[in-house]
Structure 1
Amino acid sequence: MSAPASASDWLAARPVAHRGLHDAALGVVENTPTAGQVAARAGFAIECDVQLSADGEAVVFHDFTLDRLTTGQGRVDDLSVAELAALSYKGSTDRIVTLDAYLDLIGGRVPLIVEIKSRFDGDLRLTRRTADIVNRRSEPVALMSFDPDVVEALRALAPDRPRGVVAEAAYTHGEWQELSDEQRHELTNFLHIDRSRPDFIAWHVKDLPHTTPALARHFGLPVLTWTVRSPDDREAAARFADQIIFEGFHP
């Protein structure tokens, strides 16, 4: 299955700024409105992440907890949108915003690739809310997730949006400790392909070359690769992928 025709001209057409064009040293924090604005002004596509608030809204934020990036503590989904917006980012004047507000800010100037975060627990509330938001809009937006259950659900929830699987070669480090052996086996071997049926793949650059992205490209699925930071990463991406998701430099 190849990407929808509506996405074929833009999905991999330009480099993708990972969590926006951020630079903490300059007070531009990842996934903030400023990082998105800077990327859009530079003409880069934007990758961002969404989490669920306590009141069921999709907010632009990467981590499941607030501690690393903000003056708050604890889980993102323990706080309402209003409570999240009241927090300060460390080293920035930006505030956490909803996906709707972020899309308004970008205004369709560049494509947006939204990663739906998941705890792999079958909870699809964030997926449904994200689909509701993008279905009401006309901007170029793609959706992706590490969780094949999310990608599978998007087939019905947002059928007109390109959907992708974020993936890597192995799921052995600490981030994946909560996965069951069955989940880890399915992800490692891409056994979900018949049900997730992605339109594109976002593959870990450190795991290139690899059979999975090679087969995806063979069958016409675009391969984006993350997170490209070094000359070696760029060389691997140029050989084995169709576009980069980058940070720390300007391509």
Structure 2
Amino acid sequence: MLDRTTFLRPIAHRGLHDAARGIIENTAPAFEAAIAKGYGIECDLQPAADGTPLVFHDLELGRLTTGSGLITGLQPGCAAKLPFRGTDLTGILSFADLLALIGGRVPLLAEIKSEWNEPNPAFMVKISNLATAYAGPLALMSFDPAVMATIRRLAPGVPRGIVTGSYRYPDGTPWYPDQLSDARRDALANLKESGPADPYFYAYDVRALPSPVAQRIRDDLRLPLFTWTVRTEAQRETARLHADAQIFEGYEA
């Protein structure tokens, strides 16, 4: 299970980043800044061309780095040399690099990104092997229950969770319009695909709280509920009332 005493604290979303000060999300300076404050860390994992897990949110390289194209086409050696925009920082961290940097000092929630197709076998195996060998507090999560069902099989001893919400933005626009049908979004929003993953926790969109589904997670399933991404005072109060811990950015918790 998830150790509530260890994990239920403010979690810095992609590290304690601040682009205005040259501290870029999902980079070593952002993670070191979070560690210095005693926050937990949330990060994202994307596969390199050979399945090596890289610490990066976007599928496209161009928003944050001087590269172009998809991160899934990048070799790990090239990722390690790729400059970030607007800073002297060079190199996308690998998951192995990040685990070595944290060294068990704070808890880590690592989100495995998915394009809603068959999970990349090499990516899954490499994440599972690294997570299983890591001695510090670590949990894996994904929006995609199929990813977490694979993690359950490959790394049964590593706490795992599902990232979820209403599957619609506040204006009603659906999430993943090109990948998911309305019926599938409804199933995911109502946890109907979570069973094979047997999650130990959920991370819920703060914009959809309070929610009967989120209440069921806490009251009926009795599982820890994180909420993301908390950015405003109003959202902080929502998190306090309706979740067990916040995944935050843009301020210090």
Normalising by structure 2, we get a TM-score of: 0.93
Pick from 135, 139, 142 the counterpart of residue 136 of structure 2: 139
Let me know the Cα RMSD of the aligned residues: 1.4
Mapped to 2, the partners of 1:173 and 1:80 lie a distance apart of: 35
Instruction: Give 1:91's aligned residue.
Output: 86
Pairwise CA distance, 1:85: 1.6
**Structural mapping, 1:146-157, within 5 Å:** 146-157=143-154
Please list the CA deviations of residues 155-188 of structure 1 after superposition, one character each: whole Å capped at 9, or x if unmatched: 1111111111000112464650222324323212
SS at match of 1:224: strand
Kindly indicate whether the alpha-carbon contact (under 8 Å) linking 1:124 and 1:150 is maintained by their aligned counterparts in 2.
Answer: no
Kindly indicate whether the alpha-carbon contact (under 8 Å) linking 1:237 and 1:244 is maintained by their aligned counterparts in 2.
Answer: yes
Runs (4+) of structure 1 exceeding 3 A deviation are 171-175
Amino acid at match of 1:42: K
Instruction: Give 1:222's aligned residue.
Output: 224
Question: Which consecutive unaligned segments of at least 5 residues does structure 2 have?
Answer: none
Mapped to 1, the partners of 2:113 and 2:35 lie a distance apart of: 23
Kindly indicate whether the alpha-carbon contact (under 8 Å) linking 2:167 and 2:174 is maintained by their aligned counterparts in 1.
Answer: no
Mapped to 2, the partners of 1:96 and 1:173 lie a distance apart of: 32
Equivalent pairs: percent with the same residue?
40
Mapped to 1, the partners of 2:88 and 2:3 lie a distance apart of: 34
Amino acid at match of 2:13: H
Mapped to 1, the partners of 2:214 and 2:164 lie a distance apart of: 9
Instruction: Give 1:68's aligned residue.
Output: 63
Please list the CA deviations of residues 112-134 of structure 1 after superposition, one character each: whole Å capped at 9, or x if unmatched: 10000000101233222211111
Instruction: Give 1:237's aligned residue.
Output: 239
Query: Does residue 210 of the first structure (1) align with residue 208 of the second (2)?
Result: no
Query: Does residue 119 of the first structure (1) align with residue 115 of the second (2)?
Result: yes
Identify which range, 184-193 or 68-77, moves more after superposition.
184-193
Pick from 127, 131, 144 the counterpart of residue 130 of structure 1: 127
Amino acid at match of 1:80: Q
Kindly indicate whether the alpha-carbon contact (under 8 Å) linking 2:167 and 2:186 is maintained by their aligned counterparts in 1.
Answer: no
Question: Which consecutive unaligned segments of at least 5 residues does structure 1 have?
Answer: none
Mapped to 1, the partners of 2:178 and 2:158 lie a distance apart of: 29
Aligned length, in residue pairs: 246
SS at match of 1:185: helix
Mapped to 2, the partners of 1:220 and 1:77 lie a distance apart of: 37
Pairwise CA distance, 1:238: 0.5
Query: Does residue 48 of the first structure (1) align with residue 43 of the second (2)?
Result: yes
Instruction: Give 1:21's aligned residue.
Output: 16
Higher relative contact order (CA 8 A, sep 6+): 1
Amino acid at match of 1:180: L
